[in-house]
Chain A
Amino acid sequence: MRILLRLAWLEAKLLLREPITVVFTLGLPVVMELVMGGVFGNRADPAYYRGVGAMDYYMGAYVGLVVAALGLITLPTHIATYRERGVLRRFDASTISRSTVIGAQTIVMIGLAAIGAVLVVAVGVVAYHPATPASWPLVFAGFVIAAVAFAMLGSLLGLVVPTARAAQGVGIMLWFVMLILGGAGPPPEALPDAMNLVGSLTPLKHAVILIQDGWLGFGWNGKEALIVGGFFLVSLALTAVVVRRRTAR
C-alpha cells in the first residue's frame, strides 16, 4: 500500500514532466462543452435533454466524458507503452508487482479525472450558469463509480492491445463512438433508435445518466449504478484472466 501510493505520486510527477497529453485529454471535453454550449446555450426544451436546460444536462455528461477520455485513451496508452518498452517486465522482476504499477496508474488517472471534472464544470458555470448539483454526494458517488469502472476498462485495454500506438487508436475511436452515442454529444432524443441502442451498450451512456440523475435532482439511479458496476466487474474478471495467462507463459 505504501509503495502503491509512493509509485502513484511518482507517476503523477512523471506526467507533469510531459504535460502535452494531459492538456490534450483534459482540453477536449472543454472544447466539446464550448461548442455545444455555443450551439444550444442553456435553453430548456421539453422534447430534448430530459426536459432540462441543455447545459444543465451537459454538466453531468461532460464529467462522464472526462472520465471516459482518461479511461479509454490516457490509461491504456500509458500501460501499453510500459508494456511495449519493457517497463512492466522490469517491475515484474522486482519486488514491485505488475498490479501495483497498474494500480498506481489507475490512482493517477482517477485523480486527473477529478481535476478534469472540476475544470469542465468550472468552465460551464462561468460560461453558461447551469443548475448546481441537486445532491453533491450523489454526483460524487456517481463520479467515483464511473471513474473506477473506466479505470478498470482502461487497464484491460492497455494489457490486451498489441502496441501503444494501437492503444491510442482504439482508445480515441471508442471515445468518439461513446461521445456521439453515449449522451454527451447530440441529445439522445435526436438520435435514431438504432444509435441509441448501440449507445446503451456503452458504459458512458450509463455513467452519464448516473451522474446526471444526482445533479438534476432525479435521485440515486440504482439500475445505472449496477450497470456501470457490471462493466467494472466484467473488466476486472477479464483483466484477471489476461494477467494470469501472461504469468503462465
Chain B
Amino acid sequence: MSDRTIKIAIQQEPFDTQAETDLLTRQSGNVGALVSFSGICRADDTLSALELEHYPGMAEAQIRKIADDACAKWPILGALVIHRVGKIPVGETIVLVAVTSAHRHAAFDGASFIMDFLKSRAPFWKKEHLAEGGRGDWIDAKESDEAALSRWDQAAHSSHRS
C-alpha cells in the first residue's frame, strides 16, 4: 500500500480530464478499475457562470483527509481530486474525482464517498453570475447533501464482503 498515489489540486485553470485520469492510471500500479466523476457547471435560464470561492489551506487539508478516509475504508490504489476556483463558465468542469483500484467496487464506492464528503466538508462556496450581467446569489448548501453522508456509516463493511 506504500505506493498509493494521492493527488489533490485546487486551481483556477481548466484541466484535461482524460490526461489526468490516464496519468493516475499509469501511476497506480496493477490497476483493474478506474472510476471518475466530473462535476460540471450546469446551464439554466439565467446562469452564465459560477464563481467558486475557497478557504486556502483548509480546503486542501479537508480533501486530503477525505481521500485518506476513503483509502482506509477500501483497497484503493490511487485517488485524484482537482477542484477549480474562480469564475467557471457553463459547460466547464468544476471538480474531478477519480479513484483506481484492483476491482470495481472499491473504485465506485471510493469515488462516491470522496465526492459526498467533499460537498459538505470541504470549504468551497458558489455564487451565480447571471446571463443578463451582474452577480446573482450565493448558492445554498442542500440538506440532501448532508443527508447523503449517513449512508456511509455502514458502507465499508458491506463493501469488503463483495
Tell whether A pairs with B.
no
A interface residue numbers (CB < 8 A to B):
none
